């Protein structure tokens, strides 16, 4: 891509940050240039965020239907998976998966619930009721 061909499409982050791109200058050498954004990339990111919102909504519905514990909802909301939650809490992967069952989650000790609440940056009460600042 030539230096003058670097996209400068305005996106949601264009006022906050710029992206470094490699381009060929007039003498044929690679150089770096700043780009305000690229419409194709913005559209792809918008689609990804829409998918995440749908996953969070689906997780909330599963919890309401008692098909999963609130852990699933917060994992989707915080963009985490079982190994990440396990690493933050100190639980084994199999324990986190087990705690995602509503009947098991309801019997968790306050100490375990506090570990999850700290990981998701919510109170224990909010963990149980699926309340968060983002939702």
Question: Which fold would CATH assign to domain 41-129?
Answer: 434 Repressor (Amino-terminal Domain) (1.10.260)
Q: According to the model, what pLDDT value does residue 132 have? A: 65
pLDDT (tens digit, 9 = 90+) per residue, 18-65?
A: 888 899 988 989 999 888 888 888 888 889 999 999 999 999 999 999
CA neighbours closer than 13 Å in the CB half-sphere of residue 32 = 4
Given a cut of 80, whether residue 135 has pLDDT beyond it is no
Helix pair 82-89, 110-120: axis angle to 10 deg: 120
What pLDDT, on a 0 to 100 scale, did the predictor assign at position 55?
A: 97
- Cross-strand pairs, 24: 2, 30
Of 36-50, 101-115, 121-135, give the lowest mean pLDDT range: 121-135
H or E element in which residue 118 lies: helix 110-120
Domain positions in the chain = 3-37, 41-129
Please report the pLDDT score of residue 4 as a whole number. Answer: 81
């Amino acid at each position: 891509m030539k230096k003058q061909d670097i996209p400068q499409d305005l996106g949601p982050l264009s006022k906050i940050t710029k992206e470094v791109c490699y381009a060929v200058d007039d003498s044929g050498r690679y150089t770096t240039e700043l780009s305000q954004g690229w419409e194709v990339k913005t559209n792809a990111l918008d689609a990804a965020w829409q998918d995440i919102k749908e996953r969070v909504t689906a997780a909330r519905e599963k919890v309401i239907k008692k098909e999963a514990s609130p852990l699933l909802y917060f994992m989707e909301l915080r963009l985490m998976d079982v190994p990440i939650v396990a690493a933050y809490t100190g639980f084994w992967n199999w324990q986190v998966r087990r705690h995602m069952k509503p009947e098991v989650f309801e019997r968790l000790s306050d100490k375990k619930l506090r570990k999850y609440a700290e990981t998701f940056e919510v109170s224990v009460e909010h963990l149980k009721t699926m309340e968060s600042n983002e939702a």
